[in-house]
Amino acid sequence: MRIDLPEDNFEGMLFFCGLFHFNHGVYFGKPYDSEAILNLAIVCDKYDCSQSISPMVPYLLTETTSYNALSIESCRELAEASYLINDASHFEEYT
């Protein structure tokens, strides 16, 4: 059965489904970029499932590049993602 969700970000939904279906090889073997994390956070916020990914949040938000290498745009995306998934400590770090 096919369910179309045209208003959802494809990459964010794919990331979300990968996490919940234990498809760790697709996402957990590579460094994340801030845009992918933000897309995931938007999907989690929309479907009110931020708490469901809370065990993965520390890993997701600390496996990015070092602070010195982050652009202003990446910091903004990570701060927004932290806010959307209710992670106050990372929100404070990125802001």
Give every CB contact of residue 51 below 8 A, 6+ residues apart in sequence. Answer: 86
Number of other CB atoms surrounding residue 71 within 10 Å = 10
Domain boundaries in the chain? 10-94
Single out the residue of 63, 65, 67, 60 nearest to residue 82, CA to CA: 60
Does pTM surpass 0.85? no
pLDDT at site 55 = 83
pLDDT at site 43 = 93
Run means of pLDDT, 10 residues per run, the chain, 95 residues: 81 83 63 84 92 81 64 90 91 88
Q: 31: alpha, beta or left, given left = phi > 0 and alpha = psi -120 to 50? A: beta
Single out the residue of 66, 88, 84 nearest to residue 75, CA to CA: 66
